[in-house]
Amino acid sequence: MALPSPPELIGQSATWLESLEQVSLSALVERPILVIGERGTGKELIAERLHYLSPRWDKPFVKVNCGALSEDLLDSELFGHEAGAFTGATKRRQGRFEQADGGTLFLDEIATASMQVQEKLLRVVEYGEFQRLGGEDTITTDVRIVAATNVDLPARAAEGRFRPDLLDRLAFDVITLAPLRARPEDIILLAEHFGQRIARELEGDFPGWSRSALEAMCAHSWPGNVRELRNAAERATFRTMAAQANGAPIGPVLITADLLDPFNSPWRPPKDLSTPISPQPVATVLTETRPAEKRPAPAKPADDLPVDLNAAVADLEKRLIEAALEACRGHQRKAADHLGLSYHQMRGLLRKYGYGRDGAGGETNSSGPGNEPLTQNE
């Protein structure tokens, strides 16, 4: 059976190498460690490296995401429970502290833990003992804690949202990871690694990066850090290799806006979903969607006068009404909104031009609110 080894951590920037050196030193001292960094900076990988470089490397490495569980579930997950402790607890269950005995317990998103759970964590960190949920027996455990967060814990403690005494006990050493935008030397190195990795999964040869792709990646801010870069590099490589397999010219991988940001789309929902999308002006719909032979004739220049203005206006009104009704599938109230008219103004124009009577002027007599049939008495 192969022995576990520290995870591979890629980077050559000075800030990254300093962090790895700090990890190597801190791993040797069996005290709680706090890892801080933005999302996607590799906090869990650092926690794993701390474990596998420590004297506990051959003991369990147990992970708990505190942000994924409610207060009661997190309490049970960490400390276990006795049979009958709550509805559905039919038998005793060991918690993660018991499972990690002798090894390392990684508490991800520690800032989301409730004050009650923090109080129990405080005791187990200080004295190495706890009680299962619903139990009375005191259980001892030998666990090294590595906690991680992407928020400013001292600020949370100052606001009363995190226990200062727990913060003091977790922060024997604090490893703060730099965001990817502060490590530009590592971007190309990581992109090359991720591109080659997915090419191997696809059982093909990595085409390499174009110069423009490398420049685009180095200029990007990467708010999701290494995780976001991995997705972008693998997405771009996959699409390039797929296109070349279907006959596209062979060449290096390019990066476009939608590959850097997969949410980049003209149809992306607005931030405020309560704000309706403005309908396309009827004049635009008329120009873009109606057959050429049905489009309104352009206005005649002055030298073509005289002209019957009333007839021209009536013709234009009828064409716009038809276009609005067509765009709204015959719904009169919606068509009125498209034309900037009130419902009653729209009804007046429909009566004026004989729409909806004995089939004249198109199908405007669909039933439903805002679409009442026209009558002879209106």
Q: What is the CATH number of the domain that holds 227?
A: 1.10.8.60
Count of structural domains, the chain = 3
* pLDDT score at 282: 60
Task: Tell me, yes or no, whether 29 and 95 share the same domain.
Answer: yes
- Report the CATH number at residue 145: 3.40.50.300
Q: Which domain holds residue 61?
A: 14-178
pLDDT > 80? residue 162: yes
pLDDT > 90? residue 378: no
Task: Tell me, yes or no, whether 145 and 243 share the same domain.
Answer: no
* pLDDT score at 348: 85
pLDDT > 50? residue 361: no
Residue 3 lies in a domain: no
Residue 360 lies in a domain: no
* pLDDT score at 273: 62
Task: Tell me, yes or no, whether 65 and 189 share the same domain.
Answer: no
Task: Tell me, yes or no, whether 254 and 171 share the same domain.
Answer: no
* pLDDT score at 359: 40
* pLDDT score at 302: 54
Structure pTM?
0.69
With bands split at pLDDT 50, 70 and 90, how would you rate the model's confidence at 197? very high
Task: Tell me, yes or no, whether 78 and 193 share the same domain.
Answer: no
pLDDT > 60? residue 297: no
Task: Tell me, yes or no, whether 27 and 150 share the same domain.
Answer: yes
Residue type, 200: R
Task: Tell me, yes or no, whether 189 and 123 share the same domain.
Answer: no
